[in-house]
């Protein structure tokens, strides 16, 4: 399977819920490429600790829909579990 096929399978797994394709992501080697945020899916927005999440739907190899959300992260002392926001 080529790298391109692996990435396609990973993106398709968002729709299907298949956990297998996530193995293509090596967390130890993942590099955040957005220069406006630190590693991970969280940062600061207007001075508030915030989580950022983007979700894309692909069709025929192209992005056809994009959803995103940003939400304030409550202080850890207020968390009901240790799973984090996303």
Of residues 53, 61, 62, 56, the one with CA closest to residue 86: 53
Which pLDDT score, from 0 to 100, does residue 38 have?
59
The CA-to-CA distance between both ends of the chain, in Å, stands at 29
**Domains of the chain, residue spans:** 1-30, 38-86
Q: How many Cβ atoms sit within 10 Å of the Cβ of residue 52?
A: 18
Which pLDDT score, from 0 to 100, does residue 32 have?
66
d(CA 21, CA 13): 7
Residue-wise pLDDT tens digits, 4-57: 898 888 888 878 888 888 888 777 777 666 666 556 677 888 999 888 888 888
Band of residue 65 on the pLDDT scale cut at 50, 70, 90: very high
Which pLDDT score, from 0 to 100, does residue 26 have?
77
């Amino acid at each position: 399977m080529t790298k391109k096929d692996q990435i396609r399978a990973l993106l398709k797994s968002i729709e299907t819920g298949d956990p297998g394709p996530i193995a293509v992501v090596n967390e130890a080697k993942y590099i955040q490429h957005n220069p406006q945020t630190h590693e991970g899916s969280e940062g600061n927005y207007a001075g508030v600790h915030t989580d950022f999440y983007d979700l894309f739907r692909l069709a025929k190899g192209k992005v056809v829909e994009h959803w995103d959300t940003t939400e304030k992260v409550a202080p850890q002392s207020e968390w009901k579990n240790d799973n984090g926001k996303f």
